[in-house]
Amino acid sequence: MSSKKFRITSIALLACLLFTTGATGYIDTNRDTRPAPEKALVETIGTNGYDFLTETDTLKYYYRDDRDIFMIVDKRNGYTWKTGLDAAYSSEIKKNMAAASNDEELLLAAEPKEKNLNATYIGIANSLVTVEYSELETTKYISSASEKGASSVLSGNGRDYKLDVNMEAIDLKLSVYITLGEDEISYFVPFEEMSGEGLKSVTAVILTPFLGASGGLAQYYDPETGDYGEAVSKYMVPGYVLVPDGSGALIRFTDNNVAFTSYEGDVYGSDPSTETFYYSEVTDAVPVKDPVMPVFGIAHGNRQAAFVAYAESGAEYMDIIVNPEETKRIKYTYAYPRFEYNLTYYQVYNNAGSGYFTLMEEPNIFDVRMTYKFLAGDGSKGFAADYTGMALAYREHLVEEGILTEKDVTAGDIPMRADFLMSDVKKSVIGTTQVVTTTVDDVRDILNDLEEAGIKNVNSGLIGWQKKSETLAKPASFSFTKSIGSSKDFKGLMKEFAERGKDLSFSRNFTVINDKMLSYYTNAAKHVNTWYLSVDRTVLYPKNAPVQYTGYALPEKTAKWIETAAKKASSYAGSLTITGSSNILTATYDRNGVVTSLTDSAKLIAESMEAAAGKLALNLENPNMYLWKYTNRYLKAPVGNSQFVFESDTVPFLQLVLNGTMEMYAPYSNFSFYTQADILRMIDYNVYPSFVFTGEPSYLLSDTASSDMYSTEYTEYKAIAKRVYEGVNGVLSRTMGMDWTGREVLKSGLIKNTYKDGKETHYVIINYTQSDETVDGVKVPALSAIFR
C-alpha cells in the first residue's frame, strides 16, 4: 500500500524454543504464548463533563463535546472505555483554574497535566478523528478536537450521529457518521464528504488512536502547595494489543526502558505501485509478515474487558499502527487504524534516473468503515475478553457477511499436503535448459509409497509441471514436455488418484512475471511515476538463473489468466493451486493517473477467483481476506510472526478465525519444521503438515530460480514425513469436525485448547516442556499432546 517510511528490522531472538533449568523450568520467548495478564483494577469513572446519549442492553453511551470523546460503559462488567485520553490542554487548565471561585471549583479545574504530550499530541489523544497531512515535505497532524485550527459539531439522536469536522487551518472539511450499536460502535467516513484545498495535502486519516491505551506519565495538583508536583507514572492497565502479524502477535503493555519504532502492519501488504521508488530489492533477510486481514484488538486484564476492531471498507489502504510505550518518548502503548489517501514518491524524469519527491496528484478514493466490538468476561456469556474471543467474534462477523462458510467435516485421518517440484530452467550455452527433478511417474511412485506408509489422505500441487517451467512459461500456458509428462500422462495421473480420493492440481503464480516470459508492454503494472515495476532478485537467484529481475502483472491480466487457467485445468483436475496472486495486491498507473486502484484490483482478483471456483476447488497460498470466500485449502499458513522485539507473544489468531471453514496447512516441514516442538505447534495451532518433494536430488536446481528449495529429495524425507504426520494425526484426527472455542495457557509451556462437539466439550493439552505435567488429574508427558 504505502511508501512506508521505515520498516523496523525484525530481530530474531537467539533463545531456542525450549529451555529447561532446574530452578525455573520452561522459559518463554516471544515465539510462545505467555500466561494471561494480571487482573486489571476496575474503577468507577464519573460522567462529569459528559452528556448521556443512549443505552442498549449491553452498553451505555456518553459524549464529551469539547474533546470529541465517546464514553462507553459496559453494563456486563461495569468497565468504562473512552475513545480518547480525556486530557486537558495546559492552556485550558490555566484558564479554568483562574476562573475558579472556590477550592472545590479549583480542584475540579486542576486536571492532571500529561507529561511528554504537547498540544498536538493531546489533540490526537483526545480526538475521534485525526488528519495526517504533508506541508513542505514535513508530516503534520490536526485533529477534530485540536487546541486551535479545527472545530467539530455532533448532531443526531438515538443511535445514529454525525460529527462534522472543519479543519479551517488547512481548509479541509469531513464528516464521520457514528452508529451506537448493541455491543459495538461503528464509524463511516465517506470520501465524497471530504472537501477543501487541504484535501490535496492529506496523507492519512486516523481514528480514535487512544482507545484502550495503557500507561502514561502525569503531574497532579497538590492543594497543600498550590502547585503541581513531579510527574508520576499513571496506572498501567495490564493487557495487550493483538495484531494480525503472521499467525498473530501480542504486544503487551509494559514499562519499556528503550524506545521502539512503531509497528506498522500494512494490510494486504505494501502496494508496489506506490512505494517510494519504482524498483525494489529482495534480500536474504527473513521477510516481514504482512496482515492478511484488517483487524486488531486490545485486551485489558485477564478476560475482563476487550474490543476487536475491523475495517469493512477501506481495508486495501489500511495500516495497523501500534506505538509501544516509549515510542516517540510517549509513555503510552496505543494502537489505531491509519487509512492512507496520499503519499510521497520519487518521480523520475529521465533515463539517467534523475527526479524529485512529490505527492500524488490525486488522492486515493475510498470510504472508511470501522467497527469496534466490545467483549466482556470469560466467554461463558458471549465472547471472551481476550484474543480468542476477538478471533471468534471476528469469525462470526465474517460468517454473517458471507466471507466465511462453516463446512461439514467427516471424521477420519487429517490430510497432508505433498507438493512436487517438477522442474525449473537454467541458462545453457545456447538459450536455456529445463532441469527436471520429478516426472509424472515419480509423483505416482511417491504417492503410492506414502499410502503404503499409512499416509492415505494426501493432496498435492504440481510446481514447474509445464514446458519452460514456472520461470519462463506464460502464465496461462498449458504446454507440456515429454521429459516430465505429456498432457495424456498428466490426465491419467490425476484421474487415477482422484478415483482413490487424492486431489492433484497444477500450481501457478499469475502475478509475478519477467520480461523473458512475456513482453511487459500491455502486460506489466506501472508505478505511479509511470515506470514499470521492477524487483531485483540478484541476491537470491544464482547467476545461471535465466532471470534476475521480475515485475508484476496488470491486475486485469492476472484476473484473465486465472480464469483461463481454471478453465483449462478443470479438464484435468478437481482443483487449482494459486500462489502469489492470492496475497500480492497492486494498483497500476499511466500518464493520466490511476488505471486500476487497489480497491478495483482486489475486486478484479476476487471476481476471477469466484469464476475459477465455479469450475474447481482453489488451493491458495496465504490468501488475503477478500479471497477467503473462494478458498478451499489455505496453504503455508504462518505459525509465527515477524519477531519484532516488542512482540511479546505468538498466538494462533488466524487459525482460530478460520477454523472449520477451510483446511489449513503449515509451511513446508522440509525446511527445519519437523522437530517434536514443531509437531506440537501444528497440533496447538490446528494446522496440517505439508512437504515439497522431488524425485531427484535438489542440488540439480542450484542454478535455477528454485535454488532456495535446497532440501526436497523424497528419499531423505520419507521417514520424517511419516513421523510428522503420525504425530499430528494422532491428536488432530480426534478433533475433526469439532469447533475450536478456546485456548488457555495453564502455565509456561502448557496449553489447553477447548473443542466442542455439539454439547460435548473436549480438550487438547499440549506440553511443550521437558517435564511431565498433570492437568485435571491426567498425566501429560513431556513434549507431548493428548486429547481428552
Within-domain flag for 173: yes
Q: Which three cell numbers stand for residue 193?
A: 464528504
Q: Are residues 113 and 192 in the same domain?
A: yes
Q: Are residues 4 and 86 in the same domain?
A: no
Q: Which three cell numbers stand for residue 588?
A: 497500476
DSSP state, 414? P
**Encoded amino acid at 655, one letter:** Q
The residues, ordered by sequence, that sit 6+ positions from 523 with a Cβ below 8 Å of its Cβ are: 513, 553, 554, 557
Tens-place pLDDT, residues 379-432: 988 999 999 999 999 999 999 999 999 998 888 999 999 999 999 999 998 999
* pLDDT value at residue 555: 98
β-partners of residue 323 are 334
pLDDT category of residue 4 using cuts at 50, 70 and 90: very low
Distance CA 420, CA 251 (A): 38
Within-domain flag for 338: no
773-777 own/partner pairs: CB under 8 Å, 24+ apart: 773/747, 775/746, 775/750
Is 753 a residue whose pLDDT tops 80?
yes
β-partners of residue 82 are 71
Within-domain flag for 161: yes
* pLDDT value at residue 636: 97
The average confidence (pLDDT) of the chain is 94
DSSP string, 721-762: HHHHHHHHHHHHGGGTT-EEEEEEEEETTEEEEEEEETTEEE
Torsions phi, psi for 774 (to 5 deg): -120, 125
Tens-place pLDDT, residues 681-716: 999 999 999 999 999 999 999 999 999 999 999 999
Torsions phi, psi for 676 (to 5 deg): -60, -40
Within-domain flag for 372: no
Taking each helix axis from N to C end, the angle separating 714-732 and 440-452, rounded to the nearest 10 degrees, works out to 40
For the chain, percent of residues with pLDDT exceeding 70: 97
Q: In 10 A of CB 550, how many CB atoms?
A: 22
Total domains in the chain come to 2
Q: Are residues 22 and 131 in the same domain?
A: no
Q: Are residues 16 and 76 in the same domain?
A: no
Q: Are residues 19 and 65 in the same domain?
A: no
Distance CA 167, CA 129 (A): 11
pLDDT category of residue 63 using cuts at 50, 70 and 90: very high
Distance CA 32, CA 72 (A): 33
Q: Are residues 54 and 20 in the same domain?
A: no
Within-domain flag for 235: no
What are the Cα distances from residue 380, in Å, to 90, 250, 392, 656? Answer: 45, 23, 13, 18
The count of C-alpha atoms lying within 13 angstroms of the C-alpha of 428, restricted to the half-sphere facing its C-beta, is 8
CA dihedral 116, 121, 122, 125 (to 10 degrees): -110
Domain end, chosen from 174, 208, 242, is at 208
**Residues shown for the chain:** 788
Q: Are residues 49 and 197 in the same domain?
A: yes
* pLDDT value at residue 284: 83
Torsional class of 465: left (φ above 0), alpha (ψ -120 to 50), beta (otherwise) = alpha
Within-domain flag for 776: yes
Tell me which residue has cell 504462518: 638
Distance CA 573, CA 568 (A): 9
Within-domain flag for 119: yes
Distance CA 293, CA 392 (A): 14
Distance CA 719, CA 691 (A): 12
Distance CA 534, CA 540 (A): 15
pLDDT higher at 253 or 15: 253
Q: Are residues 100 and 64 in the same domain?
A: yes
Distance CA 548, CA 537 (A): 5
Is 246 a residue whose pLDDT tops 70?
yes
Q: Which three cell numbers stand for residue 335?
A: 494502537
Within-domain flag for 430: no
Domain end, chosen from 189, 208, 227, is at 208
Q: Are residues 71 and 147 in the same domain?
A: yes
Q: Are residues 193 and 128 in the same domain?
A: yes
Tens-place pLDDT, residues 571-624: 999 999 999 999 999 999 999 999 999 999 999 999 999 999 999 999 999 999
Cβ atoms of 155 and 162 closer than 8 Å = yes
| Strand ordering across the sheet containing 305-313 | 151-157, 160-167, 172-180, 184-189, 368-376, 305-313, 295-300, 239-243, 249-252, 649-650
**Encoded amino acid at 339, one letter:** F
What are the Cα distances from residue 761, in Å, to 54, 407, 757? Answer: 39, 19, 6
Domain end, chosen from 173, 208, 243, is at 208
**CA proximity to 390, closest of 245, 244, 251:** 244
Is 19 a residue whose pLDDT tops 70?
no
* pLDDT value at residue 565: 97
Q: Which three cell numbers stand for residue 270?
A: 505494501
β-partners of residue 167 are 172
Query: Helix or strand or coil: residue 392?
Result: helix
**CA proximity to 211, closest of 131, 128, 144:** 128
Could you list the residue range(s) of the whole structural domain that residue 21 is in?
1-30+738-788
The residues, ordered by sequence, that sit 6+ positions from 433 with a Cβ below 8 Å of its Cβ are: 425, 426, 427
DSSP state, 229? -
Tens-place pLDDT, residues 712-745: 999 999 999 999 999 999 999 999 999 999 999 9
**CA proximity to 541, closest of 403, 703, 651, 398:** 703
Q: b or e along 205-241 (b: 16 or more beta carbons within 10 Å of the residue's beta carbon)? A: bbbbbbbbbbbbbbeebeeeeeeeeebeebebbbbbb
Distance CA 284, CA 293 (A): 26
pLDDT category of residue 785 using cuts at 50, 70 and 90: very high
Q: Give the global pTM.
A: 0.94
β-partners of residue 348 are 355
The predicted model gives 325-347 an average pLDDT of: 95
Q: Are residues 112 and 53 in the same domain?
A: yes
Q: Which three cell numbers stand for residue 736?
A: 475433526
* pLDDT value at residue 502: 96
Q: Are residues 43 and 26 in the same domain?
A: no
Pairing of the two strands 593-596 and 588-590: antiparallel
Distance CA 447, CA 726 (A): 16
Q: In 10 A of CB 784, how many CB atoms?
A: 21
Query: Helix or strand or coil: residue 504?
Result: strand
Residue 150, Cα to own-chain centre: how many angstroms?
Answer: 34
